[in-house]
């Protein structure tokens, strides 16, 4: 599923500066499901699930996030196929059209400290924690991870706030 998202008046979907990369990856395939039958449904499709809520796992280039006790967000190539499968009676799909921004590099902690109240330096990225918080006034879900020893952050928000959040992060990143 591709999100109907466009950032008007922004001529780039990627910003790079020494120690910082900001990318718009909103068009990545996403699938959401919630309810008592969600876990059973995903397991029946061979999806490995996080054991704790507000955490994620990466399995075969797919990210599986457990947003609560019985809500899941999957991202990666091929996950949109789940929308076409019959769902159990105690689960329903959640249409996910989130804006998703990816921040990479050593300087992400600087941009996060200026835009969000959470101290991400103290969080353990290896645990793939999820944070539900606000960033520059926008409600966001943040996934903290690590690749090759460098931090990565995925920021999910309502697509109507995507352009504002992207522009604001570009401004902060440009000032670092």
**Tens of pLDDT, residues 21-46:** 999 999 999 999 999 999 999 999 99
Share of the chain above pLDDT 90, in %: 64
C-alpha separations of 59 from 13, 62, 65, 90, 137 in Å: 26, 5, 11, 25, 32
**How does residue 129 score in pLDDT terms, banded at 50, 70 and 90?**
very high
Q: Based on C-alpha coordinates, what's the Rg of the chain?
A: 16
The class that CATH gives domain 14-26+98-175 is: alpha beta
Q: What is the pTM of this model?
A: 0.88
Q: What is the mean pLDDT of the chain?
A: 88
């Amino acid at each position: 599923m591709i999100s109907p998202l466009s950032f008007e008046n922004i001529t780039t979907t990627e910003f790079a500066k020494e120690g910082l990369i900001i990318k718009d990856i909103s068009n990545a395939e996403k699938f959401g499901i919630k309810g008592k039958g969600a876990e059973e449904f995903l397991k029946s499709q061979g999806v490995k699930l996080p054991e704790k809520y507000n955490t994620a796992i990466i399995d075969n280039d797919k990210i599986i996030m457990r947003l609560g006790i019985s809500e899941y967000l999957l991202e990666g190539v091929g996950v949109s196929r789940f929308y076409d499968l019959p769902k159990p009676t105690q689960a329903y799909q959640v249409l996910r059209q989130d804006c998703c921004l990816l921040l990479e590099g050593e300087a992400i902690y600087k941009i996060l400290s200026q835009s969000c109240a959470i101290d991400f330096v103290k969080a353990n990225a290896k645990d793939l924690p999820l944070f539900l918080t606000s960033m520059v006034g926008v409600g966001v879900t943040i996934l903290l991870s690590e690749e090759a020893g460098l931090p990565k952050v995925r920021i999910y928000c309502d697509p109507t706030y995507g352009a504002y959040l992207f522009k604001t992060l570009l401004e902060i990143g440009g000032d670092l």
